[in-house]
Structure 1
Amino acid sequence: MKRVLGCIRRADERYRMIEDGDRVCVGVSGGKDSLLLMEGMKLYQRFSYTKFDVCAVMLDLGLKPLDTSAVEAHAAHIGMDFSIVRTDIGRVVFEYRQERSPCALCAKLRRGALNTAAVARGCNKVALGHNREDVLETLFMSMMYEGRINTFAPVTHLSRRDVTIIRPLLFLPERYALSLARQLALPILPPQCDIAGSTKRDEARALLQHIARLVPDIEQKLMHALIHTETYGLWDRMKLPPGQQAVETREGGRVVRRATQAENDSQTVCTNPGASCGIMAEDAMTPGEAGRRAGAEEP
Structure 2
Amino acid sequence: MVLHGLLPKPLPSSDVVVGQLVTHPLYPERDGFYSQQAHETIDELNDYHIQLRYKDVFSVDNEGRFMSSYGSKYELGRIYRQPNLLTVAAEQMIQRTSQQPLEAFHAVCNDSDAQQWIYNLAKQQKDFYLVVGTTELHKAVFKRAKLRDAGVSRNLNEAPIEKDARVPRALSRRNSTLGRLGSEPSISGVFGMDVRRCVARISTPAEPHKLEDISYHWFYYDVPGSANKEQLIVGLGDALKANELRLMLDLSEETVQGNLDAISQLSLDALSAAASPLLKPSSPALRGRSPSPHPQLKGLA
- The bucket for the TM-score relative to the shorter chain is under 0.3
TM-score (ref. length: structure 2): 0.22
Which structure features the higher share of strand residues?
2
The higher radius of gyration belongs to 1
Flag the structure with more relative contact order, 1 or 2, with Cα contacts below 8 A and sequence separation at least 6: 2
Which structure features the higher share of helix residues?
1
